[in-house]
Chains A and B, each alone.
Chain A
Amino acid sequence: NAGVTQTPKFRILKIGQSMTLQCTQDMNHNYMYWYRQDPGMGLKLIYYSVGAGITDKGEVPNGYNVSRSTTEDFPLRLELAAPSQTSVYFCASSVNSGGIVEKLFFGSGTQLSVL
């Protein structure tokens, strides 16, 4: 069982370039999330989705876009990369059990550097 798969694992971008971080899960989870982890800052929620076609902003959405066309995939788009977006990005998924999201399953992360 693959769980949550993120690609690429590492990427270096130049300022102003764009890219898409891919995330797919094979657990049929309806909820998916994107977090970023900056050194000493914990995990900050960028965007999340409660099902196909439904997305919403998290704590730090500026500079990012998402889409959720299928249950399995939740790509994160950076349109004009900036040095402030240098971070480690984690995708996660979860399922609603009796009205509670009991835990998140995380991918292994994408380390992004913007130079």
Chain B
Amino acid sequence: DQQVKQNSPSLSVQEGRISILNCDYTNSMFDYFLWYKKYPAEGPTFLISISSIKDKNEDGRFTVFLNKSAKHLSLHIVPSQPGDSAVYFCAASVAGSGTYKYIFGTGTRLKVLA
């Protein structure tokens, strides 16, 4: 049972436009979420996080939105740049559980076209 889902395997966006990557989860206990970027042959690198006490978090060109009632989060990249081309993973955790495990989605491959 996939508790964290990224239903779009791939996304292509023109340089300078907005990229929107989506993530859905099924476990209502999840209360802390991460986004990671991964280039080929490298490990994932942290992008941005959000706690369930917030509905938005910004860091430069990256903004994450959380809709708890819909169990949905999204990552917005504005403006998109060719260097943003990578696979993006969302991850979720039950922060207060004491286990500190993160469950990852299947990833979305973003291609930013110059």
- Residues on A lying within 8 angstroms of B by beta carbon are 4, 31, 33, 35, 40-45, 48, 50, 56, 58-59, 90, 92, 94, 96, 99-109
Q: Are A31 and B100 in contact (CB under 8 A)?
A: yes
Whole-angstrom CA separation of A107 from B49 in the bound complex: 19
Q: Are A101 and B89 in contact (CB under 8 A)?
A: no
Q: Are B102 and A45 in contact (CB under 8 A)?
A: yes
Option from B42, B46, B96, B100 in Cβ contact (under 8 Å) with A109: B42
Say yes or no: A103-B46 contact (C-beta < 8 A), given A43-B89, A48-B101, A56-B99. yes
Option from A31, A101, A106 in Cβ contact (under 8 Å) with B43: A106
Q: Are B100 and A101 in contact (CB under 8 A)?
A: yes
Residues of B within 8 A of A104 (CB): 34, 44, 46, 91, 102
Whole-angstrom CA separation of A90 from B42 in the bound complex: 10
Residues of A within 8 A of B42 (CB): 108-109
Contacts of B63-114 to chain A: CB distance below 8 A? 89, 91, 93, 95-96, 99-107
Within the complex, what minimum Cβ distance (angstroms) separates A18 from chain B?
24
Within the complex, what minimum Cβ distance (angstroms) separates A19 from chain B?
20
Option from B44, B89, B103, B107 in Cβ contact (under 8 Å) with A45: B103
Q: Are A100 and B32 in contact (CB under 8 A)?
A: yes
* CB of B45 closer than 8 Å to a CB of A: yes
Residues of B within 8 A of A44 (CB): 104
Given contacts A106-B43, A106-B44, 20 further A-B contacts (CB under 8 A): A4-B43, A33-B102, A40-B107, A42-B4, A42-B6, A42-B89, A42-B106, A43-B89, A43-B91, A44-B104, A45-B103, A45-B104, A48-B100, A48-B101, A58-B101, A90-B44, A94-B100, A100-B32, A104-B34, A109-B42
Whole-angstrom CA separation of A41 from B5 in the bound complex: 10
Residues of A within 8 A of B107 (CB): 40, 42
Q: Are A59 and B95 in contact (CB under 8 A)?
A: no
Q: Are B105 and A42 in contact (CB under 8 A)?
A: yes
Question: Can you sample 20 A-B contacts with CB below 8 Å?
Answer: A33-B102, A41-B106, A42-B89, A42-B105, A43-B44, A44-B104, A45-B101, A50-B99, A90-B44, A94-B100, A99-B95, A100-B95, A102-B49, A103-B49, A104-B44, A104-B91, A104-B102, A106-B36, A108-B43, A109-B41
